[in-house]
Amino acid sequence: MKKSSMKAYGEFLAIIAVIGIGMFLFYRSAAFWGELLQNRNKVQFYLEQSINGQEAAEILRRDEEFKEEGDREKSGAISGFCIWGEKKQVTLTNGNLSRSAETDVILFYGDIELLFEGCRVPARDDAKGCLVDEQMAWELFGDSQITGKEISCEGIPYIIRRVIPGEKKIAVFSAGGMIDQASGVQGGLNPGKRQEEQTQENHSCLSRITVLKPEGISMNDLKSALSSQYGVTAELLDLQLLRGVGGFFVLLVPVIVCVFVLRYFYQRYKKQQEWVWKAVMAAAGLILLLLSLFLIKQWVQIPYDYIPEKWSDFTFWTELWKEKADGMECLIKIQKSILDLEWINSLFKSIILGVLAGVFFVAGIILLNHNEYNVD
């Protein structure tokens, strides 16, 4: 029995709504995955034993020697260095307004732009400069236009060089600058201790290394360079694998749509009586398949670390599986910094929204199959 026009119209609107929601969720999932891709040329390492500013300075001194010698092969093709760490629950004070706020502080040695895109201050040797994000600026000053104003960190004055975007409530200092500043304060941060002990206690929190990875260099090569050339033993944080996981779930919707359309062409192919129309349906399905494979090839890039030197080397896959499993275990176990919240947030949102988008598209396809507007 034919459905009433009103009911059919309502079902049609329901299908449009379901598919529309699926498209929106897919767009948001792809956007969060895109945030993960923004840092794909940066590789992070984790130091099980934190180092202090003097040790970080020594590593960067070696890197400067490599640059001066022009020996980039010896340096393992590492073209950018940032050694950093996080100090929890540090109090910042605005003495002029008698305001204070407790926050997590990022200490760094090296290229700050590797942590905050487009930010080139404070310099490594800037003993008086710092960064704050927008949330911290509002809490301390009630305004975000505060470049050049002064705050105090643990009793030491600093000048705000720039306000960075974000609401994570963080402040950023040069580790070398903090050491120099602390060395110049009479009595140190705690008068009951010797100055050397205070410096060691307050700045031995550098546990991460972020490096810039040139094209064609594997992450394992960078890890080997850290060990052999810089004397640094560090665990690789395999964010590359997480980007791949996020990309898999983003691809769910294009794959579902492709399968549905190919199925439609196949059904039309079987129902056609004339060979001309059969050829048209077959050609349309083949073109769609080739186009989908081309797009997936452009989207999916296989890292060098995933390609064996010899395809007959079956032990490679076993070792790769173990390596990735160990890498995931390390990512789960390490203490997360406030900067890690960015990739954690982007990863989980890309996965969750990708799955939901796939569910809505499947629901839309099921509704189409049971509706008279579905082409027979």
Q: What is the pLDDT of residues 89-121, one digit of tens each?
A: 899 999 999 999 998 899 998 889 999 988 888
pLDDT confidence of residue 289: 81
pLDDT confidence of residue 271: 81
- 84: its two tokens: 């950093």
pLDDT confidence of residue 350: 94
- 28: its two tokens: 């948001």
Indicate the range of 115-119, 146-150, 190-194 predicted with least confidence.
190-194
Neighbours of 148 (CB within 10 A): 9
- Going by DSSP bridges, is the β-strand pair 150-153/156-164 parallel, antiparallel, or unpaired? antiparallel
pLDDT confidence of residue 185: 47
Which residues 6+ apart lie within 8 Å of 53 measured at CB? 107, 109, 175, 176, 178, 179, 199, 203, 206
Q: What is the pLDDT of residues 250-301, one digit of tens each?
A: 888 888 888 888 888 888 788 877 888 888 888 888 888 888 777 777 666 7
Average pLDDT over residues 34-39: 86
- For residue 28, is pLDDT > 90? yes
Predicted model pTM: 0.80
- For residue 29, is pLDDT > 90? yes
Residue 56 and residue 212: Cα distance in Å, rounded? 17
Terminal C-alpha separation, the chain: 17
Name residue, tokens 């173990």.
Answer: 322
pLDDT confidence of residue 219: 79
Neighbours of 320 (CB within 10 A): 14
Which residues 6+ apart lie within 8 Å of 21 measured at CB? 360
